[in-house]
Amino acid sequence: MADLSIKTRDDDEICEHIEALESNMQVRTFDWAKENTGSWNRAGLDKLAPRLGDAFSALDAKIELIKTDPFEKISNKGTVEAFETGAVIRISARPDATSQIIMSGHYDTVFPPETFTDIQALGDDKFNGPGLADMKGGISVMLGALQAFEAGPLKDKLGYQIIITPDEETGNFASAPFLTKAAQSGAMIGMTYEPCMDTGAMSGGRKGSAVFDVILHGRSAHAGRAKEDGRSALEAAASMVVALENLNGKHDGVTFNVGSIDGGSAVNIVPDMAIVRFGARAPDAASAAWATAQVDELLKVAQARDGISGHVHGGFYRPPKPRNDAQQTLFDAVADTGRAIGLELEFVDTGGVCEGNNIFAAGVPNVDTLGVMGGRIHSDEEYVIMSSFVERAQLSGLLLNRIADGRLDAAKIKAMMG
């Protein structure tokens, strides 16, 4: 491959164009952050989706707001409930161009309405506000890079599908099929806009993530008159929790964490239902299979108790994204590209997960922290670093240029996925 750390004339031009877009990128990020889009706030999601669609109409692309199917949630009563989230925004351009990419981002945040709404300057180039970094700022950077790219001479050589989702923070349960489909319609490289760290470091390998709900049924009885007739679902659940936590340290890189036990009621009733809710993380497909097998095994142990039945809901909704040859080659290419604008980019492995896991599982190598620099995400101290809008949009712009003119051989990297 060509030396990606050298800037061409097209590269200088895209960098200048992006500098001119700085306040544009920042102002629209603040506007979007003022609209609350907590993952369960359907009304807020419905308000922001068309505004995002309008913003992306600056591109030479087709824009669709697509209604999603309801997905299943296990209620505290152990019943399956349906939740319908907001629209998936799909933006597509030039499906016949030589190079094809998928880009993704999410417009939901972890903040329910009225929990964290204010935007304030922290000084030192930082602003605090909900979703400024994760990831309304990232969506804005993606758009800025594409606006500048499409104004340049390489536009016709690159096509894309962008998927902007309403439900990333809760696991992409409704939008995952859209990511998979877009990834599998010819995409060679994926670019996702989660924030990078405030040091500028980006994510390398990612573990896979599972969410499980184990629903256990026993038999209720009056605790005073007929305790012996009862079969406590909570007792079975408690023993399962201990066994799950004991799995930590048993398999390299695999962790389990029980988040809650639901069930039971008054102290004079033997509880006939309990739900054990837990997560698991695993670094590769084999260890994810091991973790899943352990869960099945523990369910059997619970069911072997007299009068206890149950079932498992959930599993690995985001497969692992290990640092394979294709990923490493792409990270190296991104790092070289960063050098063209004076960045020394580091890629750090993490237990966190994102849409990059889904895109990898669909067979497309990807880099998933192309968004703004920020920190304290998922807390009311979330902040964005203002100078990173231009820097990170330029990084993306240069990547688009390199993929379009073939200096970055996207097809070759994709082929390394095997």
Q: Which residues bind Zn ion (CB under 5 A)?
A: 134-135, 194
Least distance in Å: CB of 67 to Zn ion? 22
d(CA 72, CA 83): 7
Least distance in Å: CB of 323 to Zn ion? 20
How many CB atoms are closer than 10 A to CB 255?
17
Fill in the amino acid letter for 57: S
Task: Give the nearer residue to Zn ion in terms of CB position, either 352 or 363.
Answer: 352
Task: Give the nearer residue to Zn ion in terms of CB position, either 135 or 291.
Answer: 135
d(CA 2, CA 57): 33
d(CA 188, CA 366): 9
Least distance in Å: CB of 104 to Zn ion? 10
Task: Give the nearer residue to Zn ion in terms of CB position, either 321 or 402.
Answer: 321
The closest residue (CB) to Zn ion is 134
Task: Give the nearer residue to Zn ion in terms of CB position, either 78 or 205.
Answer: 205
Task: Give the nearer residue to Zn ion in terms of CB position, either 100 or 128.
Answer: 128
Least distance in Å: CB of 238 to Zn ion? 34
Task: Give the nearer residue to Zn ion in terms of CB position, either 130 or 263.
Answer: 130
C-alpha count within 13 angstroms, C-beta hemisphere, residue 118: 4
Task: Give the nearer residue to Zn ion in terms of CB position, either 159 or 171.
Answer: 171
Least distance in Å: CB of 168 to Zn ion? 6
Task: Give the nearer residue to Zn ion in terms of CB position, either 227 or 378.
Answer: 378
Q: Where are the beta strands (DSSP E) in 220-321?
A: 255-263, 273-282, 309-318
Least distance in Å: CB of 194 to Zn ion? 5
- The two three-digit tokens of residue 335, written as one number: 């790092």
C-alpha count within 13 angstroms, C-beta hemisphere, residue 68: 29
Q: Are 109 and 348 in contact (CB under 8 A)?
A: no
d(CA 103, CA 189): 9
Least distance in Å: CB of 131 to Zn ion? 9
Backbone φ and ψ of 100, nearest 5°: -130, 135
My answer on whether omega of the bond before 202 falls inside 30° of 0, hence cis, is no
**Sequence-ordered alpha helix ranges (H) in 108-189:** 137-150, 176-183
Least distance in Å: CB of 370 to Zn ion? 12
158-165 and 99-106: which strand pairing? parallel
d(CA 46, CA 240): 40
